[in-house]
A and B are shown apart, each in its own frame.
Chain A
Amino acid sequence: MTVQALDQKPLALVIEDDNRQATVFAQALRMADFETEIIQNGREALNRLSEVVPALVVLDLHLPEVAGKDIFEQIKADERLVKTRVMLATADPLLAESLRAEVNLVLLKPISFNQLRDLASRFRPR
């Protein structure tokens, strides 16, 4: 575990299997002043989440190996991650609609770079 310096940026995990989207998301989050990591696999995501406490997770619901929804449930169940904010990304409007009540933000793909950047800056811990 790395010791966070006082001036260290908050960590944001981008869990997204599509390369391009992941790059865009990561860029938007960096521009919102987050330290970002891209994870393209559900299992890896779970592993990583057991090691770090991110301030923000941008989670694609369509992931290989472990479904995004399971990861989301895991985050909610983990007491360490109580303060972790989750942004869900999906191309399925119905799914998005059904999850809106449980999650901080549901983004319907395609997600605008500018929109994500603006939203993410609001989720920065103070």
Chain B
Amino acid sequence: MSNQIQHRIKHRHSLRWRLLTLLAVMLLLTLVIIGASVYYFILQNEHRSWEGRQGEAARFAAETVAAFIQRTQDKLVTVSLLDPAMLAMDPDLLKKLLDESPALLEIIRLDGSGEVLASANQDGPLLANLFTIPQSRWFAESKAGQLFLSNVQISSNGQPYLIISVPAPGGGVVAARLRMNVLWDVVAGLRFGESGQAYVVNRQGKIVGHTDPEVVLALTTLEGRPEMRGVLEAPDQKWSGSYDNFQGMRVIGVTQPVYNTGWTIVTEVAESEAFRVSETALLLLGAGLIGLGVLVMLVMGRFLSRLILDPMERLRTGTVRIGQGDLSHRIRLNRQDEVGQVAEAFDEMVTRLRDREVQVAERTQALKDSEERFRRVISSISNHIYMTEVTKGGQRIDRYVSPNVETITGYPPQLFREDPDFMLNTVVHPDDRDIASTRTEYFIQGERDDVEYRIIRANGEIIWVQDSRRVEADIDKQSLIIFGVVGDITTRKEAEEVVARARDQALEASRFKTQLLANVSHDLRTPIGGILGFTEMLQAGVYGDLTAEQQDATSEIVDGTRQLLYFINNLLNQARIEAGKILIRNTSFVPQELINNAQSMLGFLAQSRGLQLTNEIAPDVPPLLEGDPNWLDQILVNLVSNAIKFTEQGSVHIHISLPDRDHWALAVADTGPGIPAEAQTYIFEAFRQIDSTTTRQHTTGSGLGLSIVKQLAVLMGGWIDLTSEPGEGSTFTVVLPLIAVKEEAIS
């Protein structure tokens, strides 16, 4: 595009050329019309002017000629009126008359038969000597009463003349030879311009008088010539017109009839002269107009250039420069008119374009930076990142495959770009392809889907990867875009396996421990059952009556055995709690029976230690409570055993109460040494007792009792409280939820 602009516009296609041509044509047309009009006007004026002048001259000449002829006629008439006899007698009379009239060469008086009655002449008799008078036309005409003017004739001495004759009374005729000089002088006196001439034509078209006598003497006739047509057809009318005269000259001619003579004065002036002014004017006008035209064209051209073409050129070159990328260029016409506005708009556009360019450049830079960052991030992390488009038809297109794919799979990225299914069909472990395949229909927009699967690297190595992917719908294309990050998690996976194995082993060990404990306690209990049974049989006298000492001994055996049993039970219970094998089975029970059980089991022990074992049930406690009597027995036995163990003297008191509407409490208070505050927190931990150094004298315990109590309390939905002051004794209170007793249990 810019290349085309760069070419200069062909000359004839240029706006300048076209505009100037148009202008020139219009101007020329206008000037031609003006010039033609003016010229025509001048021409017409001049024509009329010449016609006027010629007409004037002709009229004057005609009048002069007419007057001259009239005078001559008058003289002849006067002669005619004279008595012929007298004329004959006095020849000097005519001679005198002749002398008075220098124009007359000869004058004769004739009678009706043509006989000369009297004559006089200045250059010799001519008419008087004629024998042919009676046959003469002039004689015949005048005898008939007409004035007659003959054609010009030449005398023997070379004098031109014409014959004029008038009728005389009595059938006579007076005739005279009239010297043409006079007429010619008149004609010659008609001067106008340089080429102007006048001549007299008679009815036959013969020139009778001319500025140039030779013309007359040559007996020139104009008969048949166009200019004569009017003259001859209407001798008494004026006529004017342009024509080529008998001399071959283009002339303006004006005719004027001469009164009473049948002659016509013709004045002619050459058109070349007549229209000299017009021609000059035409020349001047033409030159002037052409000059004006050229001037106007120049001015217009300049004006056009300044007004339109130069700015257009600047616009054009500016556009070319801008098109070539020079956005700093501005047209800057600084004009208020339309062109200026165009330039301003253009500059504004370029400014905006430049701003846009700057913006684009900034954005491009930002994009580059972003991409660079992205690339660095990508290259800095070991994860492989991909973007796959799944079209509506289910076709997969890899939009992006990060170079790290090679780090992870060992295959070059091109393979993945060329075949979108390369990863799934070749790299992913055959057993894991179901997991790895992206089932887009399961995806929820924007939700992440983390899967872990194995891949077989190019070198055959099998590694674990995690594929975190997210799906976004591309609304425009009606396709799905999957963004995914694939990372090598083999190390983690191995660690997890180690941990899992360790956990399995630990669980196995724990199960084994529990089982072991269960077996051990069973195996321990069976022989204890034997010991207890045989001792009881001894006491019962199965093997004969016992002495008092023997009786005491067996009691010691039973007591010790029961204690042993108690420890074993605790051990077993702890194991069961740890294994989560405790089952709480709630049923209704009588609170007093709970106390009685403990009393029967531990009463003897308390008594043997010199302690009082007392109990109390608050009056608001209902006759039946809901709970698991087995475990409640365990709790109470543990608490009481513990109290007896640590109390030197005084009492152990069991107390059942309702601390609030939703709970009941089983409390065991002793008058022992109390538990230091710092010990109150860990006393409930398994296998812990109060610092063994301070309680060395009370090492008879597994340290499980309180731990089991606390755990059972929690399992039953309750808790254990301890209030103790060193030296003031301790009170352990197990608070348990008060569960409504079932109806049938009450009835």
Contacts and interface: CB of A to CB of B under 8 A. Distances in A.
11 contacts: A18-B529, A20-B527, A20-B533, A21-B533, A24-B529, A27-B542, A62-B522, A94-B576, A94-B581, A110-B565, A113-B533
A97 to B, nearest CB: 6
A113 B541 CA distance: 12
B585 interface: yes
Given A62-B522, A91-B525, A113 B630 contact: no
Nearest to B523: A91
A31 B583 CA distance: 37
Contact of A31 (B525, B540, B565): B540
B406 interface: no
Interface string A100-115: 0000000001111110
A27 B537 contact: yes
A109 B525 contact: yes
Chain A residues touching B, range? 20 to 34
A94 B521 CA distance: 14
A111 B536 CA distance: 11
A64 to B, nearest CB: 14
Interface in B509-552: 518, 521-522, 525-530, 532-534, 536-537, 540, 542
A21 B542 CA distance: 15
A111 B522 contact: no
- From A20, A62, A91, residue with most partner B Cβ within 10 Å: A91
Q: Is the interface of B mostly helix, strand, loop or mixed?
A: helix
B711 to A, nearest CB: 16
Interface of B: 518, 521-522, 525-530, 532-534, 536-537, 540, 542, 565, 576, 581, 583, 585, 630
A97 B583 contact: yes
Contact of B583 (A94, A111, A114, A117): A94
B630 to A, nearest CB: 7
A78 interface: no
A125 interface: no
Contacts of B583: 94, 97
A92 interface: yes
Given A91-B526, A94-B581, A112 B542 contact: no
Contact of B533 (A93, A97, A111): A111
Nearest to A116: B533
B585 A97 contact: yes
Contacts of A31: 540, 542
Given A31-B540, A91-B521, A110 B630 contact: no
- From A18, A25, A93, residue with most partner B Cβ within 10 Å: A93
Nearest to B543: A27
A116 to B, nearest CB: 8
A62 B526 CA distance: 11
Nearest to B532: A110
Contact of B518 (A92, A109, A113): A92
A20 B532 CA distance: 10
B536 A113 contact: yes
A89 to B, nearest CB: 9
A21 B522 CA distance: 13
Interface in A4-39: 18, 20-21, 23-25, 27-28, 31
Which 5 residue pairs across A and B have the least CB separation, nearest first? Answer: A24-B533, A20-B530, A110-B529, A113-B536, A91-B522
Contacts of A21: 526, 529-530, 533
Contacts of B532: 110, 112-113
A111 B540 contact: no
Contacts of B525: 91, 109-110
A110 B530 CA distance: 8
B585 A110 contact: no
B631 to A, nearest CB: 10
Nearest to A93: B630
Contacts of A23: 533-534
Nearest to A20: B530
